[in-house]
Every structure is written in C-alpha cells, then in structure tokens.
Amino acid sequence: MNPQRISSRRRSLMLGAAAAGATALTQPLSVLAQGAEEIILGGSIPMTGVFAFAGIGINAGIQDYLKIVNDAGGVKGRKIKYVPEDTGYKVDVSVATFKKITSQNKVNLYYGDSTGFAKTINPELDRNGNILMTGASFATELNDPKKYPNQFMVGPDYTEMFGILLNHIAKEKPGAKVAFVYSDSEFGRDPIESSEALAKKLGLSVPIKIMTPAGSVDVSTEVIKLRRAAPDYTIFHGYILAPIPEFISQGKQQGMTSKWMGTFWTMDSSTVMKMGEVGDGFMGVMPFRYYYDTEKAPMLEKIRAMRSEYQSTAYIQGFLATMLFTESVKRCLDAGKPLTGPNLKAALNTLKDFDTGGLIGVPITISGNSIPVGRVYKADMKAQKMVAASDWIKL
Amino acid sequence: MRIGTLKESYVADAALFDSRTQHAWLAIATALLLLFPFMASDYWLYMACLVAINVASSTGLNILTGYTGLVSLGQAAFMGLGAYTVAILQTRYGTPFLLNLLAGGVVAMLGGIVVGIPSLRVKGLYLAIATIAASFITHFLFANLRITGGTGGLSLPPARIFGLDLDTSFRLYWLIVPVMVLMLLGAANLFRTRIGRAFIAIRDRDISAEVLGIPLLRYKLLSFGLSSFYAGVAGGLWAYFFRVVTPESFPLSMSIFFLAAIIVGGMGSILGGILGAVFMTLVPELLKLVFDWLPGGADLTVFLSPVRLIVFGALIIGFLVFEPLGLAEMWRRTRRFFHLWPFRN
C-alpha cells in the first residue's frame, strides 16, 4: 500500500474525530441549564496523582454529607449539587477545572485541592464574588482573612497544628527538647520558623531542625544528627509517610528515646498503621475524631451507618467541609441575603460554639479562616487504632 | 509538491507560505484567532492561553532538541528563571510588562548558555542528565533566596497596559497569543537563515558541521540561548497568567512534558511543536469532556479518572508506534492527500 494514500477507513476516522472535537468544543461554550433552585458545590478534586489517596476520601465525604442534606429536602428547599472533576493534583489543571465548572454552572461553593491552587485562584474568587472556598490545604499563609477573604480551612493551619503539639508537650514534659524534621517543600517549611519561636515561648528548646528532600529514602546521616541532638520529642512535617518509618526505625536502633509525632496528612489511621511495629506509640495532631472512635458522636454514627468500612480522615475533612458550607448557606438564606462569597463567609464567621455532631470533640467557633482546635492521638499497633492521648486543645 | 505551484525565484522557493491556498488558510486561522475570544467561554479562553504558553515553550525546546539535536531536560527551569525575573521586576520595580518579558527571556537565555556548556563535551542522554542539574539548582535558588520569596514564592499584580489590568483570560489572550505568534514566526524564519541551517547541520552530524566551517561552541550555545530565551518569555507569560510563582511551579516533570510534546508533535518541525503542545495540553481535557458524557456523574468520576489517564497514555504510545515522526507527519500526509486530490498518487 502506498503510504501517502489515505484509506477510506482513516478518512472516516478523521471525520469522526473532527465531528467529536467540534461537538466537545461547542458544548461548554454556554452555561448549561440547571435547576434555578440548585446550589452548586464545585470541586477540583485530586482523584489521580500523588494526592489521590486523600482526594478519593474527600470526594466520598462530600457526597455523603450532601446525600444526608438533599435526602432531608436540601437547604430551605434548595438541593445542593456536587460537580467534581479530577485534577491530578496539578495547579494548572485545577484552575482549568475551576474555569470549566464555573463556566458551566453558577457556583457558590468550591473545594480546592492544594495550597498552590488556593493562592492562584484567590484573585479570581475575589473578582467572581459569588464563591466561598475551602480545600485540602492547611497552609499558614491562607489563614489571613484580609488576603484570602473568600476562603477558609477545615481545621487548624500547620502552625496551629504545631502549636497544639507543642502545648501538649509543654504540659507533658516542661522544658523538653523538641526536634523538627521537615521536607524541603512549601508544605514542609510552612510552620517551622514560627513554631520555633512558639516553642521558646512555651519554655521548650529546639536543639535541631532537619530538612530532607521531599522524596528522600536514605536518611541515615540525618538520623545520626538527630541522635546527637537527643530530643525528647521529634515532630515530622511535610511528609505523608516516607521517610518517617525509616527515621523511627533507625533512631530506635541507635537507642533514641524520643517520642515521634506527625501532623494531619500523616495521621490517617491507615497511613500510621503502614509503619508497622516501629509506629507503635507514634503520636500526632488530629482535628477530627477517627471513624472508629467510641466517644459520643451522632454524626460519626451516621457515617458508620452509611459506610460500614473504615473511612479516612480525608473523608471526615470533606464531610465536615460540606457541613460547614451547608451551614453557611443556611445562615445566609435565613438572613435573606444573596449567596455571595462575602455573605457566605460572614455567615460562616457567625459560627459560635457550633456542634459538628461530634466530628470535632468540642463545639467550634470560626472567627477567622481556620478552626484552631485539635487533639493528640497515639498509635496502638496491637489494636490497629489511633487512641486519644490528650484532651481537645483549643488555641 | 503541490499541483500547479511554480517557483520562479529562490525567494519564492524559501517563502514561509508559498501558495494562495496557504495564504487563504492563514487568513482564516488569523480570523479564527481574532474571533475566538468573543465566542469562547472563560474555560476555553483559559485553555487557549495555556496552550499558547506551552506552544511557545515547546517551540523553544524544538529549536534546541528538534533542530540542533541537543536533548535538554531543563526547559522548566528556564521557564522558572523567566517567571521569577518577571515577578521580581513587576513586584519590586513595577517596570512595564513587555520589558519584564524581555528581561525574563534574557535572564533565562544567560542561564541556558551556562547550562549548555556541557553540550560541547557530551550528547544525547548524557546531556539530558547534565541539564537536569538546572532544575535542581534553580529550585534551590528559588526556595532559598530572599528576593524570590522563599518557598512561599511571589504573588504579582496583573500586567497593566493603558490603565487596563490584564487580569482575565480574555484580556491576557491578547497578550499571550500575539507573543506566541511572534515567537513562532521568529522560529520559522530562523531556519531560513544561516544560523538555523547551522543548527540542522549540527544535529545531522556535528563533526561534519565543524568541517563545513560551523563553530560548534558558538552555535551550540546560541541554540541553548535561543531555546532558553523562548522558555524565559513563556515563563514570563506563565507568571502573568497564574500570578503566583513558587519554587514548585516548575518541576522536572514539566520539562518532561515539553520533551514529550515535541516528540509526539514531531521533532525538527515548527508545526510539530505546536501540535505536540496542543495535544499534550488539550487531549486530557477533551478526554474529560468525553468521559463527562458517560452516565453516572459525580459517582463515577472517581473510577473514571484513572481510566482517563490510561487512555491518554495509550494515545501517546499509539501515536509513537503508528507515527514515529509525530503528529506533524500525519498532518503532512493529510495535506499531501488534498494537494494531489483528486488523484490518488
């Protein structure tokens, strides 16, 4: 066959592709029809990529809470529709997703997937004026209502997480030596400087701060440095799991007696349990109750009734984010105000001693962009569970 | 050869667009580019701007890798240099954005020339590995220098012209797309000059090129410089587009993205750079649209997202297996078909 010849099959394939492309390009050019009463919750959700483990849980949490709300008739008769799309945890794709969802729907609520996205989309949120956003980021920078007036975070920011841990340490062992081990990333470096100052204020000392590459595996030289500093507590931040087990395992082998701690994204039960025996006693800050907690929590009971298998802390985060979104919408509608970003945020900031149904063990008040509450949990490898190691700590 | 096209001079033979049909198509393409912002939604305008930035950067890499045969994995780092230069100039000195873009290109060019020095001794994969160093060094500098804002990076105000903020995709389109078109024309014309021909000679056989009187040192570094200039300007546009620049904005995977774009599109072809960047940027989004049509809505998204990635990967492999010369060759074949029409051969 002559290679220059285009067969009829290839021609029809080309025509088919062109037709499909034309339809695809023209379809989202107009805002699609939607029920006038529906409230849209858009989502740039990382269902693939490095953060998919959390995105899938967040997605399920949002869906489940909306099911509860919509099955009960919605918010003042208005149902909330969830429009998610996968981002692969890439900022440019997240922004494209935002543009796509907001082009096709009149969006009032949005869930974003990263600090980069939250920062990038902020001017767009301000210009749009109709959207309240939260997301998976707990970056300290976002906890600034002046700079980020239409955003909030579902939990304490990273500096506040360190604050909760340091408060716990100062109470448990006054004057203790605390080491910080963190990744060389925006996520990792976020709370370090401010937390060192806080540690000093609380009478604690920080004998060593170790920064490792984000994906590092061989940490033997860092462990030697850490052992020399002989900390009473070591706080890891900016990692999900690796290289924390390596640090603990080698540290224990070298006779270290430090207690090991982590922050939110390490603290999901399934993540900690992956550490195996070396993770026994691993502690960390968690703003939410775990799926299997036995303390009284009606909302956890509802979750357990909906899903019989373990749900991650990312799920609880998505679930609670949607609860707070819904409450803001409800308060806004009750006050007869239009659903704009500033109105929704103002409604959110009226939350005082709000009961989350036990997802957070104490009533919460959101006066700024964060919920500065958390609790220290500890891994019990025999029971394969995280158990409470402190009371709820409010900053 | 197009039927009925007669060249009577060398100038006509070397023309970029050599027939009435091409001129007509060019006019149609220009009209479409001019009309597009008035017809498209914010989403498609965003995608158009993103594609244009990626086309500019891919074209730069194509000059280096496709035309000069020097494999580089430093394109994202050079974009970062351009983006940070623009961000620093804009936030600290408030200089005009066109000047900032130019400065971004120049700083990236200088970076490119430094990184290109090993190309005098090593080639192929060895050079690719050497250029990876650019990613790590620039990341370290961006994350640790005070002027770059550390790990939090820099947020910059929108570009401003005649009192108008270029803060929406619609407005930015009129900056990004014309700059991209200028860069494409520049690249296309480059290969009608001695410099461009020298690049091709170096790619085909560098020793022979030197025998022919082409100084390798000058031309290899020039290629690195030009390529990085393109990346720097593209990075500057990127900075104005996203308005937040952090050390994590330009990862190594971004360099791989551009390398993949020119391989899929067709190395050593301006059209290849364009088609590759369009393919790599738009196909994942178009696949999302296709998957959106499937019933199930939000419930199925979580299951379909990985499938979509698999389909995208399979498409890339498919193109490479069935058309190793890239999308540009498919386009050429399609054109040839119409050139010869109604004859079959």
- My answer on whether A309 and A248 are in the same domain is no
- My answer on whether A354 and A212 are in the same domain is no
Q: How far is B4 from chain A (nearest CA, A)?
A: 19
Q: pTM of the full predicted structure?
A: 0.87
- My answer on whether A240 and A358 are in the same domain is no
Which one of B46, B246, B340 has the shortest CB-CB distance to A99?
A: B46
Q: Which pLDDT does position B115 carry in this prediction?
A: 92
Residues 111-140 (A) with a CB less than 8 A from some CB of B: 116, 119-120, 123, 127
Average pLDDT across chain A, whole number: 90
Per domain, the residue ranges of chain B are: 40-250
Question: How many domains, chain A?
Answer: 2
Which one of A21, A29, A185 has the shortest CB-CB distance to B286?
A: A21
- Residue A20: inside a domain: no
- Residue A5: inside a domain: no
- My answer on whether A277 and A315 are in the same domain is no
- My answer on whether A354 and A250 are in the same domain is no
- My answer on whether A115 and A179 are in the same domain is no
Task: Provide the residue-wise pLDDT of chain B in tens; the chain has 345 residues.
Answer: 566 677 788 888 778 887 788 889 899 999 999 999 999 999 999 999 999 999 999 999 999 999 999 999 999 999 999 999 999 999 999 999 999 999 999 999 999 999 999 888 888 889 999 999 999 999 999 999 999 998 889 999 999 988 899 999 999 999 999 999 999 999 999 999 999 999 999 999 999 999 999 999 999 999 999 999 999 999 999 999 999 999 989 999 999 999 999 999 999 999 999 999 999 999 988 988 888 787 766 667 777 888 888 989 998 888 888 888 899 998 888 888 887 777 765
Q: How far is A186 from chain B (nearest CA, A)?
A: 5
Residues 160-199 (A) with a CB less than 8 A from some CB of B: 184-186, 189-190
- The answer, yes or no, to whether residue A303 has pLDDT greater than 50, is yes
Predicted confidence (pLDDT) per residue in A26-85, tens digit: 444 434 444 448 999 999 999 998 899 999 999 999 999 999 999 999 999 999 999 999
Predicted confidence (pLDDT) per residue in A186-211, tens digit: 899 999 999 999 999 999 999 999 99
The CATH code of the domain that includes A105 is: 3.40.50.2300
* Phi and psi at residue A212, to the nearest 5°: -120, 155
Give A290's pLDDT tier (boundaries 50, 70, 90): very high
Residues 200-229 (A) with a CB less than 8 A from some CB of B: none
- My answer on whether A266 and A390 are in the same domain is yes
- My answer on whether A134 and A243 are in the same domain is no
Residues 42-61 (A) with a CB less than 8 A from some CB of B: 45, 47-48, 56, 59-60
Q: Which pLDDT does position B193 carry in this prediction?
A: 92
Tell me which chain A residues have a C-beta less than 8 angstroms from the C-beta of B290.
20, 24
Give A22's pLDDT tier (boundaries 50, 70, 90): very low
Q: How far is A99 from chain B (nearest CA, A)?
A: 5
Tell me which chain B residues have a C-beta less than 8 angstroms from the C-beta of A311.
none
Q: How far is A36 from chain B (nearest CA, A)?
A: 19
- My answer on whether A192 and A262 are in the same domain is yes
- The answer, yes or no, to whether residue A291 has pLDDT greater than 50, is yes
Could you count the other beta carbons within 10 Å of the beta carbon of residue B343? 7
Mark yes or no for CB contact B289/A184 under 8 Å. no
Mark yes or no for CB contact A91/B242 under 8 Å. yes
Q: Which pLDDT does position A311 carry in this prediction?
A: 97
- My answer on whether A265 and A348 are in the same domain is no
Least confident of A165-169, A231-235, B6-10: B6-10
Tell me which chain B residues have a C-beta less than 8 angstroms from the C-beta of A85.
288, 301
Mean pLDDT along residues A375-393: 95
A100 at B interface, C-beta within 8 A: yes
Which one of B246, B289, B298 has the shortest CB-CB distance to A24?
A: B289
- My answer on whether A306 and A341 are in the same domain is yes
Tell me which chain B residues have a C-beta less than 8 angstroms from the C-beta of A20.
290
- My answer on whether A71 and A43 are in the same domain is yes
Mark yes or no for CB contact A84/B298 under 8 Å. yes
The domain in which residue A264 lies consists of 158-286+376-394
